[in-house]
């Protein structure tokens, strides 16, 4: 009778060993050949958007295009509307395009030089900051838009990426350095100790037809959202830095859903993606006073929570077309216009719409769930609904029979985050290029976001307890089998 007991004991030893072994949070996802060919195609289409819809003379990239390749035209309100943030993504797209053989280095350098020359010498700037919307042909302000701090920061993400990728080109390096160093982050505080303003508008007649003087926007970056690269670039600014402690004045608000808990100011998933496409938050943790956030893990959790939300019975009973692979909500076009929506919690307007760039922008965090989602969307609805076209996925679609809707546009920022996230998943290249900027690396050090290994993170203490409880249970089992 000793043999079965021995087996049980052997099993217990194995369980104990596996519990005590140092546990890595994220087993590296290994891309299959099929994953790679899917991503090759998706990325090349995304790249094509940026190459085809940027003006070769000034580099300005359209905000959007039709899924079949046409630019907005005629009476379309988006005709000739370029976006400063899109242009930042375009700069990174050129680097990826060279690396993957879709354009020559010389072609990419020509585009990059045109873009940087425009922003260094021709684009209107105030204290180094740029407008949000610009006319692609004339370079003039559009839509009475604001001088935008977040859009300028996203442009800087691209500008600092090309500064490193084309480091052999002295002109590119000089222009990029000039543009970054000119940005006066202290001015954008508009007198506040820590919170940067969303932007500034020149004197004129506003949307309400009322005349107004020059003014800063009232909104400020007060909490954890898509803008952390803005805060970090400000802290590391060579000429106009703001205090690193301002990082710890950002409010921290958590969302809890189905056992997941993550920091987020608002529900759209893009807030966990944009700054993360540039700043490499992997394997790092805050080490300052009581703060110990792992920002990369936070984005993973936000992605997992969103998928869990769409898979939940509660969601599916109202919208049965959502499933483990058909999900995703982040700011997007909808049948009712643009919405800065997301989940969890449930958005009152949720109606079965799927926004592919929610999963696309999270490829770099949780490939095992996001890649399978994108592949399933393409195979189920690519042909049947026409959701996968010249630039990859449409911005949004709704397969629910009650709606059966496909958006006719792609949006540059959504195509862009998908492209960068896919590249980071595959090679880590955007992180590598961007983080070669000494300012980027210094910024993380200055705010005390340091390699997680340097010091055991205080939070690990909380995971010890349940493990000890299990060890005790197993030891008791051991004792029980010994006395059998």
| Interface contacts to ligand NAG, rule CB under 6 A | 251, 253, 334-336, 339, 349, 351, 353, 402-403, 405
Residues in a beta bridge with 201: 215
Residue 43 or 334: which CB sits closer to ligand NAG? 334
> Of 223, 217, 266, which Cα lies nearest the Cα of 248?
223
Residue 37 or 253: which CB sits closer to ligand NAG? 253
Residue 7 or 338: which CB sits closer to ligand NAG? 338
Measured distance CA(212)–CA(175) in Å, rounded: 34
User: Rounded to the nearest whole angstrom, what is the least distance from the CB of residue 253 to ligand NAG in the complex?
Assistant: 4
User: Rounded to the nearest whole angstrom, what is the least distance from the CB of residue 331 to ligand NAG in the complex?
Assistant: 12
User: Rounded to the nearest whole angstrom, what is the least distance from the CB of residue 383 to ligand NAG in the complex?
Assistant: 21
Residue 12 or 403: which CB sits closer to ligand NAG? 403
User: Rounded to the nearest whole angstrom, what is the least distance from the CB of residue 341 to ligand NAG in the complex?
Assistant: 7
- For 119, which DSSP code? I
Measured distance CA(352)–CA(199) in Å, rounded: 34
Residue 210 or 218: which CB sits closer to ligand NAG? 218
Is the separation of the CB atoms in 55 and 82 below 8 Å? yes
Structure tokens at 466: 């349940």
Element (H, E) at 410: strand 409-411
Q: How many CA atoms lie within 13 A of 471 on its CB side?
A: 11
User: Rounded to the nearest whole angstrom, what is the least distance from the CB of residue 251 to ligand NAG in the complex?
Assistant: 6
Is the separation of the CB atoms in 306 and 262 below 8 Å? no
Residue 349 or 455: which CB sits closer to ligand NAG? 349
Q: Cis omega (within 30 of 0) on the bond before 398?
A: no
> Of 57, 206, 71, 246, which Cα lies nearest the Cα of 139?
57
Measured distance CA(201)–CA(122) in Å, rounded: 19
- Burial category of 2 from C-beta neighbours within 10 Å (exposed 0-12, middle 13-18, buried 19 and up): exposed
- Burial category of 9 from C-beta neighbours within 10 Å (exposed 0-12, middle 13-18, buried 19 and up): middle
User: Rounded to the nearest whole angstrom, what is the least distance from the CB of residue 317 to ligand NAG in the complex?
Assistant: 17
User: Rounded to the nearest whole angstrom, what is the least distance from the CB of residue 252 to ligand NAG in the complex?
Assistant: 9
Residue 358 or 371: which CB sits closer to ligand NAG? 358
């Amino acid at each position: 009778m000793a043999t079965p007991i021995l087996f049980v004991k052997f099993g217990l030893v194995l369980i104990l060993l596996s519990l005590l072994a140092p546990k890595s949070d994220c087993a590296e996802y290994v891309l299959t050949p099929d994953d790679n060919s899917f991503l090759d195609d998706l990325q090349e289409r995304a790249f094509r958007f940026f190459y085809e819809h940027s003006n070769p003379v000034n580099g300005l990239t359209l905000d959007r295009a039709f899924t079949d390749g046409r630019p907005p035209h005629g009476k379309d309100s988006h005709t000739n509307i370029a976006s400063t943030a899109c242009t930042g993504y375009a700069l990174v797209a050129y680097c990826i395009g060279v690396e993957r053989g879709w354009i020559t280095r010389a072609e990419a350098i020509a585009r990059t030089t045109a873009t940087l020359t425009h922003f260094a010498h021709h684009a209107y700037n105030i204290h180094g900051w740029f407008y949000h919307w610009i006319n692609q042909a004339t370079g003039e302000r559009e839509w009475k838009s604001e001088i935008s701090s977040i859009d300028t920061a996203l442009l800087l993400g691209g500008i600092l990426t090309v500064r490193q990728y084309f480091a052999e080109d002295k002109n590119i390096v000089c222009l990029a350095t000039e543009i970054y160093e000119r940005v006066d982050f202290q001015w954008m505080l508009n007198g506040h100790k820590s919170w940067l303003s969303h932007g500034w508008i020149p004197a004129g007649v506003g949307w309400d037809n009322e005349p107004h003087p020059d003014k800063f926007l009232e909104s400020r970056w007060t909490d954890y959202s898509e803008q952390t690269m803005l805060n970090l670039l400000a802290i590391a600014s060579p000429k106009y830095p703001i205090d690193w402690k301002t990082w710890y004045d950002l409010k921290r608000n958590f969302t809890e859903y189905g056992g997941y808990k993550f920091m987020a100011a608002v529900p759209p998933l893009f807030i966990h993606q944009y700054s993360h496409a540039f700043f490499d938050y992997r394997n790092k943790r805050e080490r300052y006073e009581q703060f110990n956030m792992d920002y990369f893990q936070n984005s993973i959790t936000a992605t997992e929570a969103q998928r869990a939300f769409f898979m939940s019975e509660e969601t599916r009973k109202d919208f049965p077309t959502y499933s483990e692979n058909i999900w995703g909500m982040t700011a997007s076009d909808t049948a009712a216009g643009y919405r800065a929506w997301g989940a969890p919690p449930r958005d009152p307007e949720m109606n079965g719409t799927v926004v592919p760039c929610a999963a696309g922008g999270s490829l770099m965090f949780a490939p095992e769930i996001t890649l399978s989602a994108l592949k399933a969307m393409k195979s189920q609805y690519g042909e049947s609904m026409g959701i996968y076209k010249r630039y990859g996925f449409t911005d949004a679609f709704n397969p629910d029979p009650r709606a059966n809707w496909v958006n006719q546009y792609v949006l540059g920022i959504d195509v862009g985050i998908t492209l960068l996230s896919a590249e980071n998943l595959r090679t880590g290249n955007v992180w590598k290029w961007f983080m070669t900027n000494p300012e980027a690396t210094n910024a993380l050090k200055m705010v005390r976001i340091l390699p997680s290994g340097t010091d055991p993170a205080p939070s690990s203490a909380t995971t010890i307890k349940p493990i000890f409880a299990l060890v005790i249970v197993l030891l008791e089992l051991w004792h029980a089998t010994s006395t059998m």
